[in-house]
Chains A and B, each alone.
Chain A
Amino acid sequence: AQRVTQPEKLLSVFKGAPVELKCNYSYSGSPELFWYVQYSRQRLQLLLRHISRESIKGFTADLNKGETSFHLKKPFAQEEDSAMYYCALRGGFGNDMRFGAGTRLTVKP
């Protein structure tokens, strides 16, 4: 069964501090992993996907198949990073996307 776990519902850091949002998944095959972000009063939008291996807004995420994790990291958090972050998985031949419960990140000044 596909499952995505984000163990932290809330995460608070100070501006300039490193931030890591955790994501663990359960899937027997080769999944596609994504991070979506929702800023206040905005719609859900794609932040990055593992196959692109790119850095968006200073965020990176590495797929670790051994640990079945896809943690999102940024070395220096900014106040504008405050948002709700969702990890998502798409696997197999289906196109249904399985989302985690989300982590609310607050970056304090």
Chain B
Amino acid sequence: DTGVSQNPRHKITKRGQNVTFRCDPISEHNRLYWYRQTLGQGPEFLTYFQNEAQLEKSRLLSDRFSAERPKGSFSTLEIQRTEQGDSAMYLCASSLVGVEETQYFGPGTRLLVL
């Protein structure tokens, strides 16, 4: 399977703990996006990278959230001091820059904060 992969697929944690998610994009895709999706809502943009540079970050993104893409390949999203409101599906997508850029989504990581 050469699609976008995300690990873990599910994560249950206690409030106050830190969690880290990983996204492996389609190889050679230079853009990588993170989204969050809560029940009954569409995906909400969090941040995106072009190669290793983080070019845009949502103003809604708390300081407890940080993302990296150190070598321009896989990316990690860390949430520090998790809160119950962080419970959501975290989606990753990757794309190749171009006129008809298409974002390919991963299966998501479902986070539950108890």
**B91 and A44 contact, CB distance less than 8 A:** yes
Assuming the A-B contacts A44-B91, A45-B105, A49-B100, are A97 and B40 also in contact, with contact meaning beta carbons closer than 8 angstroms in the complex? no
Cβ A96 vs Cβ B105 within 8 A: no
CA distance A102 to B106 in the complex (A): 18
Residues of B within 8 A of A (CB): 3-4, 31, 33, 35, 40-45, 48, 55-56, 58, 91, 93, 100, 102-108
Interfacial residues, chain A to chain B (CB-CB below 8 A): 4, 9, 43-46, 49, 51-52, 86, 88, 94-102
- List the A side residues contacting B104 at CB < 8 Å: 45
Contact of B58 with A43 in the complex, beta carbons under 8 Å: no
**Closest CB in chain A relative to B23 CB, distance in Å:** 13
- With A95-B48, A96-B56, A97-B45 as contacts: A43 and B100 at CB distance below 8 Å: no
Q: Are B58 and A96 in contact (CB under 8 A)?
A: yes
- Report whether A96 and B45 are in contact in the complex, using a CB–CB cutoff of 8 Å: yes
Chain B residues with CB below 8 A from A9, complex form: 40
| Chain B positions within 8 Å of A44 at CB level | 43, 91, 93, 105
Q: B3: nearest residue on chain A (CB-CB)?
A: A43
Complex: how many Å from CA A46 to CA B93?
A: 11
Docked Cα-Cα span, A43 to B105, in Å, equals: 6
Q: Nearest-CB distance from B18 to chain A (Å)?
A: 25
Task: Find out whether the CB atom of B42 lies under 8 angstroms from the CB atom of A86.
Answer: yes
**C-alpha spacing A86/B37, complex, angstroms:** 12
